[in-house]
Amino acid sequence: MPCISSSSKPNCRPVWLFFALLGLSAMHTHAKEDLTVPEQVSLSANMSTKQLSISWLGGTATTFDLMILRTEFNETVFYETVSVTVNQVSGRHQWNWTSVEPLECTSLSIKIRSRDGQTTSEWSSTQILQGSDLPSNDKFQMYPQDKVVPVGANTTFCCIVEEGKVFGNIQQSNTVMNTMQLSRRSYATTVYNQEPSVRTGTNILCYDYPKTQLTGAVVFVGYPPLPSDLMCETHDLISAVCQWNEGRDTHLYGKRRTLYSLNKRICPQTQRERKCIMDQWDGNWTLVAQNPLGQYSLTYSAELSHRVRPEAPANVNSIVHAWYATVLWQWKYSTYSSLALVCEVELSSQGYKTTHTFSGVGLRSVDLPDLYPDEDYSVQVRCSAQQNFWKWGDWSKPFFFKTKTYVPEAPDVWMWMNRDNTGQVIWKPLTRRQSRGQITGYKVTFWSPEENQQHTEMFSPDTTAAPINLTQFATFSGNKIKATVIAENNEGESQPASVLIPLRLTDVEPLVVSRAVHTDSGFPLFWWKDVNSTCGYVVEWHEASCKWDCPVEWIKVAARNTNVTVESANFQPGVRYNFSLYSCSSEAPELQQRWQGYMQELVPSGSVSLSASQQDSNILLTWGEIPLVKRRGFIQGYNVYISNGSQLALLADWLILEILASLGITALFLIIVTFICYKKRKCMVHIVEKPEWDSSKEMLVVIPEEDEDEEGQGIGDEPVDTDEPTSLRYYNHVVDERPIRPRYPDSSTSSASSLDSARTDVTYTGIQTSGSSLVFQLDPQGFSEGHQPQTDQFASCVGGGGGYRPQMQTRAQSDDMRPASPEPFLDPQVASGGGYKPQSSWNFDVDAGESCGLAPSLGSPTSVASTQFLLPDEEEHGEEKRQLSSSAATWFTNLLSSTKP
Amino acid sequence: MAEQEEQQQITALDTPVPGPSQTGRAVALARLLHHECTHLLQLYKEKETFLSDHTPDGGRILSLSLDSEEPSTEEQVLLLHSALRQCLGLIHCVIAKEEEEWGELEGDYEAMRKNVRLRLEHLLHSTKDLAETEDKTLEVTPDHQHHTEETDGAGGAFGLKMWTYRVLQELIHWADHAAQTLHVLHKEREGTEEI
The whole-number pLDDT of residue A509 equals 63
Residue A855's pLDDT band (boundaries 50, 70, 90)?
very low
A216: chain B residues, CB-CB within 8 Å: 50, 158
Q: What is the pLDDT of residues A83-102, one digit of tens each?
A: 998 888 888 999 999 999 99
Nearest chain A residue (CA) to B105: A271
B183 touches chain A (CB under 8 A): no
Residue range A852-863: average pLDDT? 32
Task: Decide if A201 and B157 are in contact by the 8 Å CB cutoff.
Answer: yes
Q: What is the pLDDT of residues B12-48, one digit of tens each?
A: 445 555 567 888 999 999 999 999 999 999 999 999 9
CB A322 within 8 A of CB A373: yes
CB A446 within 8 A of CB A469: no
The whole-number pLDDT of residue A798 equals 33
Using CA atoms in the order A741, A743, A747, A753, what is the torsion angle rounded to 10 degrees? -110
Instruction: Tell me if the bond preceding A461 is cis, omega within 30° of 0.
Output: no
The rounded distance, in Å, linking the Cα atoms of A170 and A887 is: 104
3-state secondary structure A617-682: CEEEEEECCCCHHHHCCCCCEEEEEEECCCCEEEEEEHHHHHHHHHHHHHCCCCCCCCCCECCCEE
Residues 279-298, chain A, touching B (beta carbon < 8 A): none
Q: Which of A145, A205, A257 sits opposite B50 (nearest CB)?
A: A205
Q: Residue B25: which of B192, B183, B184 has the closest Cα?
A: B183
How many A/B residue pairs have CB atoms within 8 Å?
49
The rounded distance, in Å, linking the Cα atoms of B20 and A589 is: 89
> Torsions phi, psi of B161, nearest 5?
-65, -45
The whole-number pLDDT of residue A466 equals 95
A218 touches chain B (CB under 8 A): yes
B165: chain A residues, CB-CB within 8 Å: none
Q: Return the DSSP state at B127.
A: H
Q: Residue A394: which of A384, A406, A402 has the closest Cα?
A: A384
Residue A103's pLDDT band (boundaries 50, 70, 90)?
very high
Q: What is the pLDDT of residues B104-135, one digit of tens each?
A: 888 999 999 999 999 999 999 999 999 888 88
Sheet strands (E) in A36-107: 39-46, 51-57, 63-70, 75-83, 93-98
B159: chain A residues, CB-CB within 8 Å: 145
Assess whether pLDDT exceeds 90 at residue A715.
no
The rounded distance, in Å, linking the Cα atoms of A464 and A182 is: 103
- ∠ CA A83-A89-A94, nearest 5°, is 30
Q: For A217, how many CA atoms within 13 A lie in the half-sphere containing its CB?
A: 24
CB A188 within 8 A of CB A102: no
Most confident of A4-18, A466-480, A590-604, A745-759: A590-604
Nearest chain A residue (CA) to B155: A145
- Listed in sequence order, the residues at least 6 apart from A536 whose beta carbon sits closer than 8 Å to its beta carbon are A556, A557, A558, A559, A561, A584
Task: Decide if A145 and B156 are in contact by the 8 Å CB cutoff.
Answer: yes
Among A586-590, A823-827, B29-33, B85-89, the minimum mean pLDDT is found in A823-827
Residue range A109-114: average pLDDT? 96
Pairing status of strand A480-489 against strand A492-493: antiparallel
The rounded distance, in Å, linking the Cα atoms of A400 and A536 is: 42
Q: How far apart are the first and last CA of chain B?
A: 38
Nearest chain A residue (CA) to B44: A200
CA distance B85 to chain A (A): 28
The rounded distance, in Å, linking the Cα atoms of A726 and A282 is: 100
Q: How far apart are the first and last CA of chain A?
A: 196
The whole-number pLDDT of residue A547 equals 86
The rounded distance, in Å, linking the Cα atoms of A541 and A525 is: 12
- Listed in sequence order, the residues at least 6 apart from B11 whose beta carbon sits closer than 8 Å to its beta carbon are none
A201: chain B residues, CB-CB within 8 Å: 157
Residue range A553-574: average pLDDT? 94
- Listed in sequence order, the residues at least 6 apart from B111 whose beta carbon sits closer than 8 Å to its beta carbon are none
B108 touches chain A (CB under 8 A): no
CA distance B102 to chain A (A): 4
CA distance A215 to chain B (A): 8
The rounded distance, in Å, linking the Cα atoms of A633 and A601 is: 5
3-state secondary structure A731-743: HHCCCCCCCCCEC
Residue A300's pLDDT band (boundaries 50, 70, 90)?
very high
Q: What is the pLDDT of residues A361-391, one digit of tens each?
A: 999 999 999 999 999 999 999 999 999 999 9
User: How many CB atoms are located within 10 Å of the residue B22 CB?
Assistant: 15
Task: Decide if B158 and A217 are in contact by the 8 Å CB cutoff.
Answer: yes
Q: Residue B174: which of B12, B48, B40, B61 has the closest Cα?
A: B61
Which amino acid is present at A88?
Answer: Q
A145: chain B residues, CB-CB within 8 Å: 155-159
The whole-number pLDDT of residue A653 equals 59
What is the residue-wise DSSP string for A562-604?
Answer: -EEEE--TT--TT-EEEEEEEE-SSSS-EEEEEEEEESS----
The rounded distance, in Å, linking the Cα atoms of A311 and A332 is: 7
Q: Residue A655: which of A684, A635, A673, A670 has the closest Cα?
A: A635
Pairing status of strand A590-598 against strand A513-517: parallel
Residue A702's pLDDT band (boundaries 50, 70, 90)?
low
Assess whether pLDDT exceeds 50 at residue A12.
no
The whole-number pLDDT of residue B18 equals 56
Assess whether pLDDT exceeds 90 at residue A759.
no
Backbone dihedral region for residue A863 (phi beyond 0: left; psi -120 to 50: alpha; all else: beta):
beta
User: How would you class A672 by CB atoms within 10 Å of its CB: exposed for 0-12, middle for 13-18, buried for 19 or more?
Assistant: exposed
The whole-number pLDDT of residue B136 equals 83
Residues 54-73, chain B, touching A (beta carbon < 8 A): 54, 57
User: Residue A188, SS3?
Assistant: strand
CB A565 within 8 A of CB A523: yes
User: Residue A468, SS3?
Assistant: strand
User: Residue A882, SS3?
Assistant: helix
Residue A420's pLDDT band (boundaries 50, 70, 90)?
confident
Nearest chain A residue (CA) to B54: A214
User: Residue A300, SS3?
Assistant: strand
CB A609 within 8 A of CB A750: yes
Nearest chain A residue (CA) to B58: A213
Higher pLDDT, B170 or A784: B170
Residue range A843-854: average pLDDT? 34
Q: Which of B101, B158, B159 sits opposite A254 (nearest CB)?
A: B101
Average pLDDT, chain A: 75
Q: Return the DSSP state at A545.
A: T
B134 sits in which H/E element: none
Residue range A554-573: average pLDDT? 94
Assess whether pLDDT exceeds 90 at residue A730.
no
Instruction: Tell me if the bond preceding A369 is cis, omega within 30° of 0.
Output: no
Among A44-58, A105-119, A645-659, the minimum mean pLDDT is found in A645-659
Among A8-22, A534-548, A617-631, B124-138, the minimum mean pLDDT is found in A8-22
Q: Return the DSSP state at A795.
A: -
Determine which of B158, B161, B164, B166 to mutate to test the interface with A (most A C-beta atoms within 10 Å).
B158
Q: What is the pLDDT of residues B68-82, one digit of tens each?
A: 778 888 888 999 999
Higher pLDDT, A861 or A446: A446
Using CA atoms, how far residue B124 sits from A832, A876, B9, B136, in Å, is: 99, 108, 40, 15
The rounded distance, in Å, linking the Cα atoms of A730 and A701 is: 11
Assess whether pLDDT exceeds 60 at residue B10.
no
Q: Which of B102, B156, B162 sits opposite A200 (nearest CB)?
A: B102
Provide the percentage of residues in chain B whose pLDDT is more than 90: 56
Q: Residue A871: which of A579, A664, A562 has the closest Cα?
A: A664
Q: Residue A408: which of A461, A370, A367 has the closest Cα?
A: A461
Higher pLDDT, B14 or A689: B14
Residue range A843-870: average pLDDT? 33
Higher pLDDT, B193 or B157: B157
Higher pLDDT, A75 or A512: A75
Most confident of A140-154, A418-432, A597-611: A140-154
B161: chain A residues, CB-CB within 8 Å: 200, 203, 218
Backbone dihedral region for residue B118 (phi beyond 0: left; psi -120 to 50: alpha; all else: beta):
alpha
Which amino acid is present at B69?
Answer: E
The rounded distance, in Å, linking the Cα atoms of A423 and A554 is: 16
| pTM beyond 0.90 | no
For chain B, give the number of residues.
195
Q: Return the DSSP state at A130.
A: -
Q: Return the DSSP state at A234.
A: B
Q: Residue B187: which of B41, B77, B57 has the closest Cα?
A: B77
Task: Decide if B105 and A257 are in contact by the 8 Å CB cutoff.
Answer: no
The rounded distance, in Å, linking the Cα atoms of A743 and A750 is: 13
- Listed in sequence order, the residues at least 6 apart from A834 whose beta carbon sits closer than 8 Å to its beta carbon are A653, A655, A656, A659, A871, A888
CB A316 within 8 A of CB A400: no
The rounded distance, in Å, linking the Cα atoms of A529 and A581 is: 11
Pairing status of strand A186-191 against strand A180-181: antiparallel
Residues 116-175, chain B, touching A (beta carbon < 8 A): 155-159, 161-162
The rounded distance, in Å, linking the Cα atoms of A417 and A473 is: 14
Residue A508's pLDDT band (boundaries 50, 70, 90)?
low
Task: Decide if A254 and B57 are in contact by the 8 Å CB cutoff.
Answer: no
> Torsions phi, psi of A61, nearest 5?
-65, 145
